[in-house]
Chains A and B, each alone.
Chain A
Amino acid sequence: TVPPQVVPGADPSARQLCFAWGPAEVLVCETLFGRAGRSSSRCLSRSPSPSRFWGEGRPGAAARALTGSVTGTGEGAPSSSRVFVVRRDQDIYIQTLRKLFNESHGIFMGLQRSEEELAGKSRKAQLVQVSKTYRSVIRACMEDMHQAAVSTRDPALQGQYSTQVSILSAMELIWNLCEILFVEAAAAGPLLLRLLDWVRLHVCDVDSMVREVLSSESPSKHKLFWNVVDVFVLQGRMDEARHLLSKEASANPTSMNMYKILDDLMKKMPAPSLGNTQTLTELELKWQHWHEECQRYLQDGTFASNPHMESICKILLGDEDAILEKKELMTTWYHFLVTRLLYSHPTVKPLELRFYAQSSMDLFLGGDSSPEPLDMILMAAFEFEMHQVIKECSIVLSNWWFVAHLTDLLDHCKLLQSHNLYFGSNMREFLLLEYASGLFSHHSLWQLGVDYFDHCPEYGRVYLELHIERIPLSTEQKALKVLRICEQRQMHEQVRSICKIMAMKALRNNRLGSALSWSIRAKDAAFATLISDRFLKDYCERGCFSDLDLIDNLGPSMLLSDRLTFLGKYREFHRLYGEKRFPEAARLLLTLMTAHIAPCSFWMTLLTDALPLLEQKEVIFSAEQTYELMRCLEDLTAGNPDKQKFQDDDVETTKVEMLRLALARNLARVIVKEGTVEGS
Chain B
Amino acid sequence: QDNRISIWSAGDLGNAGLNGEYNGEPRLLCDIQHNGDVMDMQFLDQERIVVASSTGTVTIFRHHQNNQTLSANHRWEKAHYHVDQDTSCGGAACTGVVCNNPEIVSVGEDGRINLFRADQKDAVRTIDNADSSTLHAVTFLRTTEILTVNSIGQLKIWDLRQQRNEPSQIFSLAGDRVPLHCVDRHPNQQHIVATGGQDGMLSIWDIRQGTMPVSLLNAHEAEMWEVHFHPSDPDHLFTCSEDGSLWHWDTSTNVSEKPSFLHQGGRSTAYLSHSTINQSVVSAWLSNDPTKDRMEITNLIPNQTLSVNSLDVLGPCLVYGTDAEAIYVNRQLFA
| Chain A residues in the interface with B (C-beta under 8 A) | 95, 98-99, 102, 105-106, 109-110, 443-444, 447-448, 451, 474-478, 480-481, 484, 488, 509-514, 516-517, 520, 546-547, 549-550, 553-557
Contact = CB atoms under 8 A, between A and B. Distances in A.
Contact of B223 (A99, A480, A512, A549): A480
Contacts of B177: 517, 520, 553-557
B303 interface: yes
Contacts of A511: 82, 109-111, 132-134
Given A451-B305, A475-B109, 14 more contacts: A102-B324, A102-B325, A102-B326, A106-B303, A106-B305, A106-B324, A447-B323, A474-B54, A475-B54, A476-B109, A484-B223, A517-B177, A550-B132, A553-B154
A547 B111 CA distance: 11
17 contacts: A106-B303, A447-B306, A476-B109, A477-B93, A478-B37, A484-B223, A509-B83, A511-B109, A511-B111, A512-B132, A513-B133, A514-B133, A514-B151, A547-B132, A553-B154, A556-B175, A556-B176
A517 B179 contact: yes
Contacts of B214: none
Q: Residue among B39, B95, B170, B177 with the most chain A CB within 10 A?
A: B177
Contacts of A447: 306, 323
A447 B323 CA distance: 8
Q: Residue among B110, B152, B179 with the most chain A CB within 10 A?
A: B152
A475 B172 CA distance: 25
B131 interface: yes
Nearest to B171: A553
B2 interface: yes
A481 B242 contact: yes
B198 A480 contact: yes
A99 B305 CA distance: 15
A509 B242 contact: no
A516 B150 CA distance: 12
B133 A517 contact: yes
Interface string B141-165: 0000000001111101000000000
Contacts of B1: 443-444
A509 B109 CA distance: 10
Nearest to B81: A509
A517 B303 contact: no
Nearest to B179: A517
SS class of chain A's interface: helix, strand, loop or mixed? helix
B242 A517 contact: no
A516 B133 contact: yes
Nearest to B243: A484
Q: Residue among A110, A509, A516 with the most chain B CB within 10 A?
A: A509
Interface of B: 1-2, 37, 39, 54, 82-83, 92-93, 95, 109-111, 129, 131-134, 150-154, 156, 167, 170, 172-177, 179, 198, 222-223, 242, 303, 305-307, 323-326
Contacts of B222: 484, 488
A514 B134 contact: yes
Contacts of A488: 222
A98 B325 contact: yes
Nearest to B111: A511
A65 to B, nearest CB: 30
A553 B242 contact: no
B101 to A, nearest CB: 27
A106 B156 CA distance: 40
B54 A520 contact: no
B170 A549 contact: yes
A95 B307 CA distance: 21
A546 B129 CA distance: 10
A55 B65 CA distance: 42
B152 A516 contact: yes
A484 B309 CA distance: 14
A133 to B, nearest CB: 12
A546 B132 contact: yes
Contacts of A98: 325
A530 B179 CA distance: 21
Nearest to B176: A556
A477 B38 CA distance: 11
B305 A105 contact: yes
Nearest to B223: A480
Contacts of B156: 549
B305 A475 contact: no
A553 to B, nearest CB: 5
A110 B303 contact: yes
Contacts of B175: 555-556
Nearest to A99: B325
B92 A549 contact: no
A475 B37 contact: yes
B131 A513 contact: yes
Nearest to A480: B223
Contacts of A555: 153, 172-177
A447 B305 CA distance: 11
Contacts of B179: 517
A481 B134 CA distance: 16
Contacts of A547: 129, 132
A129 to B, nearest CB: 14
Contacts of B95: 476-477
B170 to A, nearest CB: 6
B201 to A, nearest CB: 15
Q: Residue among A99, A480, A554 with the most chain B CB within 10 A?
A: A480
Given A514-B109, A514-B134, A553 B152 contact: yes
B152 A550 contact: yes
B307 A477 contact: no
Nearest to A477: B39
B134 A476 contact: yes
Q: Residue among B1, B222, B303, B325 with the most chain A CB within 10 A?
A: B325
A474 B133 contact: no
A99 B82 CA distance: 36
B105 to A, nearest CB: 19
B170 A553 contact: yes
A338 B223 CA distance: 56
Contacts of B109: 475-476, 511, 514
Given A447-B306, A514-B133, A557-B177, A549 B151 contact: no
A510 B154 CA distance: 19
A513 B132 contact: yes
Nearest to A558: B177
A11 to B, nearest CB: 31
Contacts of A557: 176-177
B303 A553 contact: no
A513 B54 contact: no
A509 B82 contact: yes
A106 B306 CA distance: 9
Nearest to A450: B306
B165 to A, nearest CB: 11
A393 B77 CA distance: 49
Contacts of B82: 509-511
Contact of A510 (B2, B83, B93): B83
B314 to A, nearest CB: 25
Given A520-B176, A550-B152, A513 B111 contact: yes
B324 A105 contact: yes
A211 B27 CA distance: 30
A448 B152 CA distance: 30
Given A517-B134, A546-B132, A550-B152, A481 B110 contact: no
A484 B200 CA distance: 12
Contact of B132 (A475, A478, A480, A549): A549
B289 to A, nearest CB: 25
Nearest to B303: A110
Q: Which 8 A-B pairs have the closest CB atoms?
A: A513-B133, A513-B132, A547-B132, A509-B82, A517-B151, A550-B132, A475-B93, A514-B133
Contacts of A451: 305
Nearest to A487: B222
B172 A553 contact: yes
Contacts of A448: 306, 324
Contacts of A478: 37
Q: Residue among B2, B39, B111 with the most chain A CB within 10 A?
A: B111
